[in-house]
Amino acid sequence: MKQIQFHILTLAFAVAHLAHGQVLPTIHVSGNAEIRVAPDLVDITLGIEVIGKALLPAQEEQNRRVAAVIACLKKAGVEDKDIQTDRVSIHPRYDEESSKIKPNRYEVARSVNCTLRDIGKFDEVLTAALQAGATDVSGINFRTTELLKHRDAARLAALRAARQKATLLANELGMKVGRAQSVVEDLPGGTASMRLYDYDPPQISQNSSNRNSIDSISAGMAEGGFAAGQIAISATIYVTFTLE
């Protein structure tokens, strides 16, 4: 089966050659659904950078700050399994007139990644980490522990949207939607497909932008000066139906 590229909408007619030789017209449609849910996890990436004239003292100071940041995260209730150090970098810096013979300072940096399972503590943890020696926040990512459940709900909603579109167009042509011939899901990094009959659906145009969409919106959460908002979980399904 030909690979379906991302963010595509198509309406195409093809001819399905069934096992008994009967020729039936088909319609190929896409459905998109997006579900918005309140997150219950947040990933935070903290940077600890130290600038010093000598390399070893700068490394020692950075190690001290990293240890202090990790200690404050644990004190706030972050478990060991949810803390990870990452991305160590050492950069010598030179005066413009020195022709890069001898560095006049060193920039030593390391990042600490943590997952906060009580996102209501976000402000508290962030403030404590900065006070302990973190110099920047390079990443914040909100997630949900129920991703699979919400993704399945988005898939079903996208499938319903595809059938709804096919029915609307078929009715306009004086026809009815029959059995599904193939189902393809648009996924990051590739597609997941289910072929119900032994034939390839038509190639899909890449440049279309009109999509059938179903949105489900739930209330976000806010606490003090911190607002977690919502995260979007989406699904795109391509289905080929026979027309009767």
Q: What is the CATH number of the domain that holds 151?
A: 3.30.110.170
Residue-wise pLDDT tens for the chain (244 aa)?
333 333 333 334 443 444 455 678 999 999 999 989 889 899 999 999 999 998 898 899 999 999 999 999 999 889 999 999 988 888 888 877 666 677 888 899 999 999 999 888 888 888 899 999 999 888 889 989 998 899 999 999 999 999 999 999 999 999 999 999 999 988 765 555 444 443 333 333 333 333 343 333 333 333 455 677 788 899 999 999 999 8
Same domain, 204 and 218: yes
**Which amino acid, 160?**
R
Q: Which domain holds residue 205?
A: 12-38+146-243
Q: Tell me if 4 is assigned to some domain.
A: no
Neighbour-count burial of 174, counting CB atoms closer than 10 A to its CB (0-12 exposed, 13-18 middle, 19+ buried): exposed
Number of domains in the chain: 2
Q: Tell me if 54 is assigned to some domain.
A: yes
Same domain, 16 and 134: no
Q: Tell me if 6 is assigned to some domain.
A: no
Residues 4, 238: contact at Cβ < 8 Å? Answer: yes
**Which amino acid, 86?**
D
Backbone angles phi, psi at 54, to 5 degrees: -120, 145
Same domain, 156 and 190: yes
**Which amino acid, 183?**
V
Residues 132, 124: contact at Cβ < 8 Å? Answer: no
